[in-house]
């Protein structure tokens, strides 16, 4: 027994000798620290004696001396470890370190890394989410870009529609093009004086080309429309009517793969000697590769194997084949130039070209997109592309950062960040995320959203809480970027689990089948459609529908919400998140209370901006309250402002700052100008938010004046039918020197 005890003591001593001390340190002095504290999680936890690795709640850090630096020492074996800091005790509070000081785990998730030898190690102090110590290029110091170009899409709010589920015009239970045309006035009737439309100015249509599947993401003919939805003539009539109301229309373009029933693939699989064989990827033997989420990607047909990253019914194209690539580019030209759509939402774009075992965001994919850009811009210089790059922000940015690939990409991390912050009643982590995201992208060039057809609907995600829904909507509709609203989100539609549940028919009223169809719907409606529907929500001025409509109207009315840069603000209450949108000596402040109780007596500050120093008038747009004046200092910042504002539970307040008291509650004379249809084949109608006399001058692309007239009403018609096809610039000006220029395409 004594010998056994001696052996155990020696083994224990050797084990302890193999351990080293590792001290984590993070500076939280510029963060709002979560009530649940600061933690660190990673691959070190199990060896350090904690229950499991990557547990965000078990290793808490402490700030014993109150200097804002949180520390914790653990004993670990020499090895390489990955880790990240967490401002909370759940993954909603995880930091987002950049690639400069972190390693990509292969899924777009970046983690910090440390390699330990046989010596104790105290890590350098870093600022939460940054690579350096606060004040040394890290921290929450935010220096906005204040000079940049905007595009037409920065003025728009888009609405995503699944045609099959929107409105059925003929009683067959399936939504169609004519049904969408009938409901256009619900989306935007083209008249700014009415209040029964949402006011959206863009539509994204989910796939509407022929397909054997209900969803349409496996296309069998890239130059036609789905027969269930109507004819090409029906679609073009819808497009014309949308344009007549000033609504742009982009369509889903599935470039990565076709249907296995597409004639190209049928020829490819049936005839190995066919030129179409190389339009897809074939191998004689099974390469036995798995895909990014562990799925089978090589599919057997007749003893040969073809590549399909999603499933066997969606074989991937081979973009290394020049004929195949040229055909896909020509198809894009067809839809933009011949049919007249305004651009594309491009599905699954990060999987376009594979390079060995690397199947996402390869250089080959970037090369194809760089070739594709002059194609669609050549068809229409204003054509818009929005990419689905479903991964973390650092990888997404690569698709838009040089403006040589896509125009926009959906910002998934932001959507998750907003929902986590609202659900957890805590904005601290979202604050840092907003700073990072707005510095990572070219100014304003990202697509913002809360959910889409692939993700559980927001109302259920937020616990069917109306106040949470309204707060989430307020956040993304006051942030920079181009917002996309999923159909039915404005009436709190439910949907989770299988994809069909997320794509149920629209709930229009309390009648049978929610007013969606007079027949039998292709898929059952939500059971709550009798109370959650457009008719009910429009009748209730406090409903979510009216909340969305007001936010959309503010975006149209106030240029800072469309074109203004992002500037974070300091708040004396860490449950209130504040930021400004600034554009040409005007600012819109978005002030959000995340708490489950009301708040008041809160002061705000802001760093240096390009606002002209002086007195600004403040007006609470939410409640119609005059807040008096505040001072903008010599650096364009705000030292301390304590307005008479009271926040309700999870309430967002929108405040306008302007140099003139008359401009705080109403848009400037030429701020809201609508021209439609655009593109046009003949007449254009100008709708103006002013009764002032205006001069209208039109210049061609060479800068030559081709039209000059004076208008004295809020609506005016200008005949362009005699003009040559091309780009024109409509210049409007009034007697006060205010002006606005808009581009019009004659086709």
Instruction: In whole angstroms, give the CA distance from residue 288 to residue 742.
Output: 55
Which member of 30, 226, 347, 382 is catalytic?
347
Read off the DSSP letter of residue 382: T
Chain centre distance of CA 120: 44
109: nearest Cα among 385, 404, 499, 416: 416
Which member of 89, 388, 490, 620 is catalytic?
388
Instruction: In whole angstroms, give the CA distance from residue 415 to residue 101.
Output: 24
523: nearest Cα among 496, 497, 503: 503
Q: 3-state class of 717 per DSSP?
A: strand
Q: Which long-range contacts (CB under 8 A, 24 or more apart) does 572-579 make?
A: 572/602, 572/603, 572/604, 573/599, 573/602, 574/32, 574/33, 574/427, 574/428, 575/425, 575/426, 575/427, 575/599, 576/427, 576/602, 576/647, 577/421, 577/427, 577/430, 577/431, 578/604, 579/434, 579/479
First CA to last CA across the chain, in angstroms?
97
- Neighbouring residues of 508: CB distance < 8 A, sequence distance ≥ 6: 167, 514, 515, 516, 533, 534, 535
- In b/e form, how buried is each residue of 109-128, taking b as 16+ CB within 10 angstroms? bbbbebebeeeebeeebbbb
97: nearest Cα among 114, 109, 80: 109
- The neighbouring-strand residues paired with 708 are 697
431: nearest Cα among 475, 389, 483: 475
- Neighbouring residues of 357: CB distance < 8 A, sequence distance ≥ 6: 289
Annotation marks residue 65 as catalytic: no
**CA torsion through residues 428, 429, 432, 434, sign:** negative
Instruction: In whole angstroms, give the CA distance from residue 110 to residue 154.
Output: 30
User: How far from 696 is each of 191, 268, 741, CA to CA, in Å?
Assistant: 20, 57, 10
Angle between helices 363-379 and 322-333 (to 10 degrees): 40
User: How far from 621 is each of 290, 468, 551, 731, CA to CA, in Å?
Assistant: 53, 20, 10, 30
Annotation marks residue 347 as catalytic: yes
Q: How many CB atoms lie within 10 A of CB 387?
A: 23
What backbone torsions phi and psi does residue 556 show, to the nearest 5 degrees? -70, -35
DSSP 220-284: S-TTS--GGG--HHHHHHHHHHHHHTT-EEEEEE--SB--TTSHHHHHHHH-TTSGGGGGB-EES
- Are 144 and 567 in contact by the 8 Å Cβ rule? The answer is yes
- The neighbouring-strand residues paired with 253 are 346
> Which residues are tagged catalytic?
347, 388
């Amino acid at each position: 027994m004594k010998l056994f005890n001696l052996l155990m003591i020696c083994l224990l001593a050797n084990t302890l000798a193999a351990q080293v001390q590792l001290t984590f340190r993070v500076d939280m002095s510029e963060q709002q620290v979560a009530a649940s504290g600061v933690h660190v999680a990673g691959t070190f936890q199990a060896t350090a004696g904690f229950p499991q690795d990557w547990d965000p709640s078990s290793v808490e850090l402490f700030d014993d001396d109150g200097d804002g630096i949180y520390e914790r020492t653990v004993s670990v074996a020499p090895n390489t470890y990955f880790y990240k800091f967490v401002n909370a005790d759940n993954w909603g509070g995880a930091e987002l370190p950049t690639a400069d000081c972190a390693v990509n785990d292969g899924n777009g998730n970046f983690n910090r890394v440390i390699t330990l030898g046989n010596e104790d190690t105290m890590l350098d102090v870093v600022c939460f989410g940054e690579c350096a110590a606060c004040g040394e290029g890290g921290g929450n110091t935010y220096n906005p870009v204040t000079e940049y170009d905007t595009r037409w899409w920065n003025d728009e709010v888009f609405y995503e529609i699944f045609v099959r589920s929107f409105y059925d015009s003929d009683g067959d239970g399936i939504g169609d093009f004519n049904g969408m045309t009938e409901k256009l006035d619900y989306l935007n009737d083209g008249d700014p004086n009415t209040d029964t439309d949402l006011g959206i100015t863009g539509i994204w249509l989910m796939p509407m080309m022929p397909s054997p599947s209900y969803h349409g993401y496996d296309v069998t003919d890239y130059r036609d429309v789905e027969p269930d939805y109507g004819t090409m003539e029906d679609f073009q009539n819808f497009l014309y009517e949308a344009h007549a109301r000033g609504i742009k229309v982009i369509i889903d373009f599935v470039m990565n793969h076709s249907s296995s029933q597409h004639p190209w693939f049928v020829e490819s699989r049936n005839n190995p000697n066919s030129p179409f064989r190389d339009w897809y990827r074939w191998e004689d033997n099974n390469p036995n590769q798995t895909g990014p989420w562990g799925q089978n990607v090589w599919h057997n047909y007749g003893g040969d194997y073809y590549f399909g990253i999603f499933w066997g019914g969606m074989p991937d194209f081979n973009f290394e084949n020049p004929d195949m690539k040229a055909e896909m580019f020509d198809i894009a030209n067809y839809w933009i130039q011949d049919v007249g759509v305004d651009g594309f939402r491009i599905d699954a774009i990060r999987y376009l070209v594979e390079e060995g075992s690397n199947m996402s965001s390869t250089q080959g994919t970037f090369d194809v997109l760089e070739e594709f850009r002059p194609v669609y811009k050549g068809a229409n210089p204003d054509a818009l592309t929005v990419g689905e790059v479903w991964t973390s922000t650092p990888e997404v940015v690569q698709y838009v950062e040089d403006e040589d690939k896509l125009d926009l990409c959906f910002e998934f991390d932001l959507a998750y960040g907003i929902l986590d912050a609202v659900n957890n009643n805590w904005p601290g982590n979202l604050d840092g995320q907003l700073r990072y995201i707005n510095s990572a992208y070219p100014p304003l060039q990202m697509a913002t959203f809360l959910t889409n057809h692939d993700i559980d609907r927001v109302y259920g995600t937020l616990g069917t809480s109306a106040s949470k829904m309204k707060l989430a909507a307020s956040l993304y509709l006051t942030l920079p970027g181009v917002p996309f609203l999923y159909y039915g989100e404005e009436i709190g539609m439910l949907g989770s689990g299988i994809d069909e549940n997320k794509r149920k028919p629209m709930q229009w009223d309390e009648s049978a089948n929610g007013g969606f169809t007079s027949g039998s719907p292709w898929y059952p409606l939500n059971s709550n459609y009798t109370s959650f529907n457009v008719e009910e929500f429009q009748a209730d001025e406090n409903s979510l529908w009216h909340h969305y409509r007001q936010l959309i109207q503010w975006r149209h009315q106030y240029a800072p919400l469309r074109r203004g840069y992002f500037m974070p603000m300091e708040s004396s209450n860490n449950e209130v998140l504040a930021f400004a949108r600034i554009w040409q000596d005007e600012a819109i402040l978005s002030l959000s209370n995340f708490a489950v109780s009301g708040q008041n007596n809160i002061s705000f500050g802001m760093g240096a901006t390009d606002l002209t120093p002086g007195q600004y008038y403040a007006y609470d747009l939410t409640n119609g309250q005059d807040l008096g004046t505040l001072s903008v200092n010599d650096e364009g910042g705000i030292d301390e402002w304590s307005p008479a504002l009271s926040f309700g539970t999870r309430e967002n307040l929108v405040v306008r700052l302007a140099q003139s008291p008359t401009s705080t509650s109403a848009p400037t004379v030429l701020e809201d100008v609508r021209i439609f249809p655009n593109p046009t084949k003949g007449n254009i109608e100008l709708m103006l938010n002013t009764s002032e006399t205006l001069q209208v001058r039109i210049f061609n692309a060479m800068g030559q004046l081709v039209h000059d007239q004076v208008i004295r009403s809020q609506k005016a018609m200008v005949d362009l039918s005699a003009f040559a096809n091309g780009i024109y610039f409509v210049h409007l000006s009034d007697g006060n020197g205010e002006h606005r220029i808009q581009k019009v395409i004659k086709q």
